[in-house]
Structure formats: C-alpha cells, structure tokens
Amino acid sequence: MTQLAATGAVDRRPKRADARRNYDKLIEAARATFTEFGTEASLEEIARRAEVGIGTLYRHFPTRQDLLEATYVEEVEALCHSAEEYADQEPWAALSGWLLRFADYALTKKALSAELLATMGTPSPVLGLCHTAIYSAGEPLLQRAQAAGVVRPDITFNDTARMIGGIAMMRQGDPQQVRHLISIALDGLRYRPDQG
C-alpha cells in the first residue's frame, strides 16, 4: 500500500483485477488527456482513450472532481516512490536528480493542481496529504546531502520545494527554459565554504 493510500482518504482503487485494470486505464487516459487538453477535457474522450464505456468511468469516478483528484494522487505517489530510486546514489546526485523529477512533475501538473485548488475553494485534505507525502519523500534526500556537506546548511525542504515549484509554475516559460533556470537554482543550493 502506498503512503497516500495508507491513510484511507484516497484509496479508491478497486480490488478485483478486471476493475483495477479499468481503473488504471482510466487514470492513464485522464493523465494524457488532461495534459493535452487541460482539465476541462471531455470525460467521454477519456473513456474512449481508456477503451471503456462512459458508465465504467462514472462507476469509478462519479464526478469530474473525483477523477481529477485520483489522477493527481497517482502522480504524487509516482513522484514519491521515485525517491527510492536515488537511495544508492551519492547525496548530491540523489537530491538533484529527484528535484529535477519534482520539477518535471510540477511543470506538467500545474493546470491540474490549479484546477483542484480553484474547484475546492478551501484547503483539501487530499492536497494536504499530497503535500505531506512530497515533503516526506524529498526532505530525507535534502538532509542526507546537508549531512554530507554538499548542500547549504541554512536551506529547508520548504525553501527548496518553493523555489523549484515557483520556477516550474512560470506562466510564459517553455520547458527547456524552465529546466535551465532550475539547473541554475540547484547550483545555488551547493555548499561552497571557500566562498565565504
């Protein structure tokens, strides 16, 4: 069970194998369709891409909001799980590698997260759980890099996440420009005692 699913608040995944396959196909189709057309994409188009009927979509996700949340949670879980892939790398490579992945996630999910914030009106328990999960995945990588002396000791994961997220959310930035700015920002995290 994943970190977010373990809370019980977002565990909507069906248990039967056939239902789980349909659920996964719907999430994948929703991810691609929302990325291509935005959060107002047709639910019928999502069902078509998933090769299921619209009734199957509504059985799994009674509202558009349910589908938006589930898609967002799946993306956050994948991001959090990816932190484990960096566990055997040296501390700077692990932190910077994961932060670049975080930036890619933020870059492609800005419309989805903005829609969730706009439609919820108030802080969402789901968004709160996702925020906590991201911090739980990334903070140990930062602390490990700081303990190794390769990252400034005066930086917090909150600082880092805001910096990366802020750059990734630039309205006019193309992905290549955003990645270039993020590489500059990451360089600013490095600890250089010889520079005073």
Given a contact cutoff of 8 angstroms between Cβ atoms, the answer to whether 116 and 124 are in contact is yes
Tell me if 60 sits within 8 A of 14, measured CB to CB: yes
Using CA atoms, how far apart are residues 120 and 104, in angstroms rounded to an integer? 24
Fold of the domain spanning 5-195: Tetracycline Repressor; domain 2 (1.10.357)
- Taking residue 57's Cβ as centre, other Cβ atoms within 10 Å add up to 23
pTM above 0.85, yes or no: no
Q: Where are the domains of the chain?
A: 5-195
Write out the chain's pLDDT in tens, 196 residues: 345 654 444 556 666 888 889 999 999 999 888 878 877 889 999 999 999 999 999 999 998 888 988 988 888 999 999 999 998 999 999 999 999 999 888 876 655 665 565 555 555 677 788 889 999 999 999 999 999 999 999 999 999 999 998 888 777 667 788 888 998 999 989 977 765 4
